[in-house]
Chain A
Amino acid sequence: MKTENPRAWLLVLPVILLVAFNALIPLMTVVNYSVQETFGNNVFFWQGVDWFEQVLHSERFHDALGRQFLFTGIILAVEIPLGVAIALAMPRKGIWVPICLILMSLPLLIPWNVVGAMWNIFTLPDIGLMGYGLNWLGIDYNMTQSPLAAWVTLIVMDVWHWTSLVVLLSYAGLVSIPDAYYQAAEIDGASKWSVFRYIQLPKMKQVLMIAILLRFMDSFMIYTEPFVLTGGGPGNSTTLLSIDLVKVALGQFDLGPAAAMSLIYFAITLLVSWVFYTIMNKDVKE
């Protein structure tokens, strides 16, 4: 298998230096802010863990965190099964495969603020296709007034934006299954469900875990799209964690609380991702 080689460090060194420059210095800046109070002019006072206590006890943070988990939960519950279902229904061979793949990748390649702006226009009740269409069908739809409509729009937008990633990954797992497996299943008279359960799902498991991990991380950090789409409104109904964070940091310029919030936010993301990652690696080893 792998050989022991301490000199391999040299090969990894450029990556470490570059990422450390980008990660450690900014992270230490945030840590610095999180334990100090400033009144401007670069004068800082030691504050200890006060900001952390303040943030952890603030209702505003709890609300934003709750909305964030709700959003990420819905996203995973919708996009993963939908993505798998579409990948299963896609043709395996032929001219349509590259066409499907290219068309499906398009939403992934649009800058995030354009995605937000695009959906904003798309859902305008007077001139947007979806907003106009829904109202024409007799559904009273106005994203800027109803929190429910704002949430539905936000989720539909994210499904539109990211389901293709799940499709691409699952499809990659599916095409790696040799034809012989299916032939064997046919000879054994296996039902469609058992083909899925015992052949396709195990083959997709690894890529699916990656899809779940990536979707978790990205939906948990989402900022630009909801900011452009709803600006966190109406009221605070779609103010997710990072929108709230930017409001505190750049809107009110409360650097201390914002920094403490950043660190708590980062810690939660890390913890959940670590759990996913550990489960993933355990499965690989088995």
Chain B
Amino acid sequence: MKKTTNIVVAGLGGQGVITASDILAEAAFRAGFDVKKSEIHGMSQRGGSVSSDVRYGEVVFSPMVPEGEADFLVVLDPSQIEYNRHVLHPQGELITPDIFFDEDEGISDLDDLDADETIPITKRTLNTAVLGALSARLEIPESAWLEAIAANLRSAYLNDNTEAFLFGRRRNNSGA
């Protein structure tokens, strides 16, 4: 049986962690995989640490990524990297917004990124941009991603997020 792909998306309440994992799970679902996605709702959403597990493959059993078995750990807020690192497989890959940072261009944190007019990423579209970078590393067709984004976002936010996603995806194709 083909191995299950394990992804953990983490960040702080309000950063769009759940939306990102919803899009990811739906993209894998549309690509025909068995998918499970899990996170904790409720009290943990009040600005605190948030993380969501997405697993896909031929057959997925547990909805939660076992400790040390994440192939990808996507962290939207730098403060949450160390807290979540234990879920990552030794050969797994950490993906953070700093893939978009560029010291030469004067972009060294989320505020700089938000302010830069030449890059189509703001704090509100950071989640889909980082998802774009992740997408370049996964075997899910681009059409499934775009459908999943459209299915999970209100039309008013759709264009900005699609643009941010594609920017992240193109930017990281080379690194895949």
> Is this pair of chains taken from one and the same complex?
no
- A→B interface (CB under 8 Å): none
